[in-house]
Amino acid sequence: MKISKQAASLVRPNQFKVLKLDSGIDSSPTSVGTFCSNSGSIRKLLFEEITKLDDALNMFDEMTQRQPLPSVVKFTRLLQAVTKMEHYSCSIDLFKQMVAIGVPVDVYTTTIVIKCFCQMSCTNEAYGFKRGVVPNVITFSMLLSGLILEDRILEVERLFKKLIREELCEPDVVVYNTMIKGICKFGSNNTYIGLLRLMDERGCKPNVFTYSTIIDSLCKDKMVDDALKLFNEMTLHKGILPNVVTYSSLIRGLCNLGRWDEVCKMLKEMEEKRIYPNAVTFSTLLNGLVIEDRIFEVERLFKKLIREEICEPNVVMYSIMIKGLCKFSNNDAAIDLLRLMDERGCKPNVFTYSTIIDSLCKDSMVDDALKLFNEMILDKGILPNVVNYSSLISGLCKLGCWDEVSKMLGEMEDEGISLDVPIFNILVDSFCKEGIVEDAEAVMNIMVKRGNDPDVVTYTSLLYRYCKNINITKAMHMFDEITEKVWNRM
């Protein structure tokens, strides 16, 4: 089935960028000529992409005041522009105004509105949205995407089967890809392989996106050998050329299993096929090397990327490097890398700072950690999270800085960040180590009142202190409490 550019533009570009689409109604000479004759500003709508909502709304007002009204094609293009900006609610409002002034909407316009409802997780509204037009394959693709977005996988399967059973439309590669992407989200390996085979049976050719999605899912499930078989099927039997996404998924899967010889083979294949690794590929390699503690190779690769201008490192790559350096308590080098990010215009995120702060606290360099914490908030405008506070509270507790701990807990309250189980455990353990059992018990009581169940770490800290204090009665009472909870959960 041929798909017009007008219809195809409704499909999310990050999902289906590999499709080659044919021209459609909006690019015909008549449409263009008529459109361009209306005005210079409307000409802008056709030839220049609108990227600001105010410009789009002004354009809409101008179009609605014209007599006769511009065609539905032109209104649809404007609706597409607003939807592309992710102003979904606004797109729906504009559609309602179009209907109110008598613009005869068509299936393409309706499909845009359905997409908006789906992106807003309002698939029920999208599902019942009918205005006298027959839904096409694009419409059904949007509905399936919406149901997947809401994790309604059983309804996804029902709708897909209904399309085939009642011959509502013949699923095309976009619909199959939508289905496969949704099923991969839930890790149902047999189902998406079954869908791939169904495509063959019904004469629908899979593309690189189809195979790449399944290969990526298999690699995430550590089924790398199955992924490699599918890769060979794609390249050798189907004649489909892999892309950087396909290779990056396989490289990640192989890195996670420590199969470095095969990783090198994949990289060589990419070079031979002139498929250039991207930031994701290099991030995967760096992370794989960090996991295996191959820090010198990590540093060599990272420096080579910058020196030879192979790939400008992004925040993910810097954060992986910093994680690797902190793993070996190389805090100075990690901070140097943080400064390099600034020099090269790469903004650090909360994870970047959290990694260094945690490493400094573990090395009892809490003053340095606090300086970095303040830099993160005051200079960079990055909001702290529970992980930052957990690291700092742990470091301060080890040093017995209880006033600072109290201040940190107050800051968390002010920021609306709830104490989680790990932070309660840090406090309980710290009080136990200081021999202040009453305070440890008080913290656990607060923990329970706030709806946080004590875990094995909480109980272990208290049991150890009870036994050390030769308080066997309390130890036995707590042991009975733990046993009862375990039985109740069985």
pLDDT tens-digit map of 52-89: 888 888 888 889 888 888 888 888 888 888 988 899 99
Q: Indicate if the pLDDT at residue 46 is higher than 60.
A: no
Assign 108 a pLDDT band (cuts: 50, 70, 90).
confident
More confident residue, 471 or 38: 471
Q: Indicate if the pLDDT at residue 428 is higher than 90.
A: yes
Q: Indicate if the pLDDT at residue 441 is higher than 70.
A: yes
Class for the domain spanning 1-184: mainly alpha
Q: For the CA atoms of 102, 105, 109, 114, what is the dihedral angle to 10 degrees?
A: 90
More confident residue, 127 or 340: 340
Angle in degrees, 0-180, between the axes of helices 366-374 and 350-362, rounded to the nearest 10: 160
Distance CA 269, CA 408 (A): 52
pLDDT tens-digit map of 262-277: 999 999 999 999 999 9
Distance CA 165, CA 202 (A): 13
- Over residues 175-198, the mean pLDDT reads 86
pTM of the model: 0.75
Burial group, residue 25, by CB count within 10 angstroms (0-12, 13-18, 19+) = middle
Q: Indicate if the pLDDT at residue 330 is higher than 60.
A: yes
Q: What is the mean pLDDT of the chain?
A: 86
Task: List, by residue range, all CATH 1.25.40 domains of the chain.
Answer: 1-184
- CA angle 458–463–465, rounded 5-degree value: 105
